[in-house]
Amino acid sequence: MTRQEGLKILQECRDRIDELDRRILELLNERTKIVETIGRVKQDLGLPIYEPRREDEVFANVTASNTGPLTSDGVKRVFERIIDEMRNVQRLRMVKKDGDESA
């Protein structure tokens, strides 16, 4: 492979990653909208934001669906971060609904 061919392959891969990142972002925002609804329902019902059993279900679902090459531990770490951000969204929405935007 020549340097020029290698650089072309790198750029094509990076372009594909950029497109995938935009798709991932779209899905994360779609997930966030659902999480906002869940947060409103939890608030109306007086339920806590943090539900460890549900998080375990999410981890089990995504790791069971994983076909690699990302490891199950890697998948779990990614989803731990996603879930953490979703909890933050719920907290912020609950605070805003209560009229206290200082949190």
pLDDT of residue 99: 59
In order of 1, 83, 84, 91, the CA distances from 39 in angstroms are 53, 13, 14, 8
| CA-CA-CA-CA torsion sign (37, 43, 45, 51) | positive
Quote the pTM value.
0.84
Q: Which DSSP state fits 50?
A: -
| Residues of the chain scoring pLDDT < 50 | 101-103
Q: What is the pLDDT of residues 24-47, one digit of tens each?
A: 999 999 999 999 999 999 999 999
| Nearest in space to 35 (alpha carbons), one of 92, 78, 74, 75 | 92
**Which domains, and CATH codes, for the chain?**
3-97 (1.20.59.10)
Residue 15 tokens read as 């372009």
Q: What pLDDT does 101 receive? A: 45
Residue 86 has a CB neighbour count (10 Å cut-off) of 22
pLDDT score recorded for residue 20 = 98
CA atoms within 13 A on the CB side of 83: 18
Using the CB atoms, write b or e for 30-46: b if 16+ within 10 Å: eeeeebbebbeeeeeee
